[in-house]
Amino acid sequence: MKSNYIIAFDQGTTSTRTILFNKAGKIVAIAQKELKQLYPQSGWVEHDPIEIYEAQKSTFEEVLQKTNISEEEIGVIGITNQRETTVVWDKKTGIPIYNAIVWLDNRTKSYCKELKEKGHEDYVKNNTGLVIDSYFSATKLHWILNNVEGAKEKAEAGQLLFGTIDSWLIYKFTDGKNHVTDVTNASRTMLYNCKEHCWDTHLLDIFNIPKKMMPSVQPSCSHFGDITHNTTTIPIYGVAGDQQAALFGQGGTAPGIAKNTYGTGCFMLLHTGEEFITSKNGLLTTIACSLPNQAPQYALEGSIFVGGASIQWLRDQLQIINTAQETEAICKSIPPLEDVYVVPAFAGLGAPYWDSEAKGAMYGLTLDTGKNEIIKATIEALAFQTKDVLEAMQEDGDMELTKLQVDGGASNNSYLMQFQADMLNVPVDKPEMIEVTALGAALLAGLKAGIWKETDLPNLRKTATIYVPKMTSETRQRKYLGWKQAIKRTLTT
Ligand code: ADP
């Protein structure tokens, strides 16, 4: 095998992509298909698992055709995927018994409340690292088994299988030979014991889920099965959930490295090494990707529900901008703000506050506050929220951050990135290649295949820009204090 190229399957919430990398870690080709979002009821979000599989297959074909590269030159495949999204299918036919219930879906909200009332919170936190929430797979799987006719009996008889999207794709691509997942995806199900490294029998009992429907769990950098294309067999050697893959793609292989993805929401992960740290500050403990032959690694994670989505709000609801991109010039065109704050609690407040009842608010308005000030305050809110999460992480992890690696759409805004560096008082490092999630999956696979060595990793992620803090500590403290006061006035509890 020539192994000149590495394929990453990047199955996201809104689209399915196949990305071809060369040995220098550069993108050679991308094919992408939008994914239909299904909203059967308010608060429900579903995907068609067959559409996901077909799109992954067709984008793979498209990349091969576009580049004229034969499959023999592809050494290995890595997979990264939207996490927590839940699929249940028939073991014999491979046909899903219900649509995939997407991570955003909150149909199990009241069931989660019930679980908390029954006192399961501490067990869940101490063993899975998570908070009880409809976001994770366990209650979604429970819902399918209890609401699809005959599902419970079939599951008990061993006729049904469960998987997150990685698991589903591997099952389909290996013609049903492999029913597997990786540790990072398993750690988001609320059914995996992240200390013992196995499915948690106590939790499986609580949710009434037969163990035989659960996939086998493997390290992210291991052999998950083979995909046969024409007459060529290509191994799947890397699998990770999207945020953990992004951390890996950002070079997050050692304690103290943190990344923040500024997308629709913001997802921040701090690598904390081999220790399972239980957060005292509203963060999640999750499994990070480990290098080949390395012990399991952990990360602390903080999710900000509304990140770039607040810029979309400026555009679509307030209609005071036409594009997200123009916010950068607007922010730079007006003087520094004096005490104007936008708290974008449009979907409540996530980490570290976890106040689902909070609503968005603006503070410090005077007669000379115009739309540009509101735009700038909305952009700055992303940086303040990130600082909130990072402070919590540093406290939980008992470590000082030396820099923050960034990616995602809004990391293209240089005003925001400079303000972020100023607020954190650490350099903000943006890579040349922003597709770090797909790169993470490719790196995992390439490492296992021996295409890359661990010592190659630093050269595969190149810095494009470093934003160095310039603000005086007095200004930083004054601004952040103002933000904290705005948060205090927004919280409902
Ligand atoms: P996702 O993967 O969640 O779809 P992306 O990483 O593609 O998100 O980022 C898109 C988000 O980033 C949008 O919410 C958009 O408003 C925001 N965004 C994109 N470019 C900029 C910019 N230059 N300044 C501020 N926000 C931006």
* pLDDT value of position 292: 87
* Residue 390 domain-assigned (yes or no): no
HSE of 366 in the Cβ direction (CA atoms, 13 Å)?
5
Task: Using the mean position of ligand 1's atoms as its centre, give its distance from the Cα of residue 323 in Å.
Answer: 10
* CA of residue 101 relative to chain centroid, distance: 16
Q: Is it the case that residue 284 has pLDDT exceeding 70?
A: yes
- Residue 62's CB is within 10 A of a number of other CB atoms, namely 16
What is the band of 70 on the pLDDT scale with cuts at 50, 70, 90? confident
Amino acid residing at 110: S
Is any ligand 1 atom within 6 A of the Cβ of residue 327?
Answer: yes
pLDDT tens across 36-68, in order?
989 999 889 999 999 999 999 999 999 999 998
For 255, other C-beta atoms within 10 Å of its C-beta total 17
- Number of domains the chain contains: 1
- Average predicted confidence (pLDDT) for the chain: 93
Please work out whether the CB of residue 315 comes within 6 Å of at least one atom of ligand 1: no
Ligand 1 mutation target, pool 103, 104, 264, most atoms within 8 A of CB = 264
* 408 Cβ below 6 A of ligand 1: yes
Would you give the end-to-end CA distance of the chain in angstroms?
61
Going from the C-alpha of 268 to that of each of 32, 227, 283, 355, the distances in angstroms are: 25, 33, 10, 18
- Verify whether ligand 1 is closer than 6 Å to residue 124 (CB atom): no
Whether residue 412 has its Cβ less than 6 Å from ligand 1: yes
Q: Which domain holds residue 186?
A: 5-240
Position 1 confidence tier, pLDDT thresholds 50, 70, 90: low
Q: Which class for 6: exposed (0-12), middle (13-18), buried (19 or more C-beta within 10 A)? A: buried
**CA-CA distance, 49 to 96, in Å (whole number)?**
7
Q: Which amino acid residue places its CA nearest to atom 9 of ligand 1?
A: 409
Nearest residue (CA) to ligand 1, atom 26: 410
pLDDT tier at 350, thresholds 50, 70, 90: confident
Residue 433 in tokens: 């290649």
The verdict on residue 305 lying in a domain is no
How far apart CA 368 and CA 235 sit, in angstroms, is 62
CA 278 – CA 127 distance, rounded (Å): 9
pLDDT at 230: 85
Best probe residue, ligand 1, of 326, 413, 419 (max atoms within 8 Å of C-beta): 413
Specify whether the CB–CB gap between 9 and 173 falls below 8 A. Answer: no
Does residue 121 lie within any of the structural domains? yes
pTM exceeds 0.85 = yes
Query: How far, in Å, from the CA of 300 to the mean position of ligand 1?
Result: 23
Is the pLDDT at 191 greater than 90? The verdict is yes
Q: Is the CB of 312 under 6 A from ligand 1?
A: yes
Atom of ligand 1 nearest to the CA of 265: 3
CATH code (residue 201): 3.30.420.40
In a domain, residue 383? The reply is: no
* Centroid of ligand 1 to alpha carbon of 25 (angstroms): 24
Does residue 487 lie within any of the structural domains? no
* Per-residue model confidence (pLDDT) at position 380: 98
410 CB within 6 A, ligand 1: yes
Whether the CB-CB separation of 6 and 76 falls below 8 Å is answered with yes
Exposure string over 403-435, b if 16+ CB within 10 A, otherwise e: bbbbbbbbbbbebbbbbbbbbbebbbbbbebbb
d(CA 393, CA 110): 29
Task: Say which residues have a Cβ less than 8 Å from residue 446's Cβ, sequence separation at least 6.
Answer: 6, 21, 75, 76, 78, 237, 238, 452
Residue 49's pLDDT is 98
When pLDDT is cut at 50, 70 and 90, the band that residue 299 belongs to is very high
DSSP-derived letter for residue 348 is: B
Cβ of 243 below 6 Å from ligand 1:
no
Per-residue pLDDT for 287 more than 70? yes
Q: What is the pLDDT of residue 2?
A: 62
How far is the centre of ligand 1, averaged over its atoms, from the C-alpha of 436 (Å)?
Answer: 15
CB of 425 sitting under 6 A from ligand 1: no
Is 395 near ligand 1, meaning CB less than 6 Å away? Answer: no
Instruction: State the closest ligand 1 atom to the C-alpha of 408, by its place in the atom list counted from 1.
Output: 6
Which residues are bridge partners to 233 per DSSP? 228
Ligand 1 pocket residue status of 251, Cβ below 6 Å:
no
Q: Is residue 152 part of a domain?
A: yes
pLDDT at 459 exceeding the cut of 90? no
pLDDT tens digits for range 127-153: 999 999 888 999 999 999 999 999 999
Residue with tokens 């050494």: 75
| Torsion sign over Cα 425, 431, 437, 439 | negative
CB-ligand 1 contact for 328 (6 Å cutoff): yes
Q: How many helices (H) and strands (E) does the chain have?
A: 16, 23
Q: How far is the CA of 304 from the centre of ligand 1 (A)?
A: 14
Q: Is 434 in the pocket of ligand 1 (CB under 6 A)?
A: no
Residue 427 in domain: no
CA-CA distance, 304 to 310, in Å (whole number)? 11
Q: Which of the listed residues 262, 303, 317 should we mutate to test ligand 1's pocket, taking the one with most ligand atoms within 8 A of CB? A: 262
Ligand 1 atom nearest residue 409's Cα:
9
Q: What number does the ligand 1 atom closest to the CA of 407 have?
A: 6
Q: Tell me: the pLDDT tens digits for 398-457? A: 888 888 999 988 999 999 999 999 999 999 999 998 889 999 999 999 999 999 999 988
Higher pLDDT, 465 or 2: 465
Q: 54: which residues sit within 8 A by CB, 6+ positions away?
A: none
Nearest ligand 1 atom to the CA of 309 is 14
Mutational pocket test of ligand 1: of 34, 81, 104, 311, the residue with most ligand atoms within 8 Å of the beta carbon:
311
Please give the biggest Cα pair distance in the chain.
Answer: 71
The answer to whether residue 353 sits within a structural domain is no
Q: How far is the CA of 74 from the centre of ligand 1 (A)?
A: 32
Q: What is the pLDDT of residues 92-124, one digit of tens each?
A: 999 999 999 999 888 998 999 999 999 999 999
Q: What is the pLDDT of residue 342?
A: 97
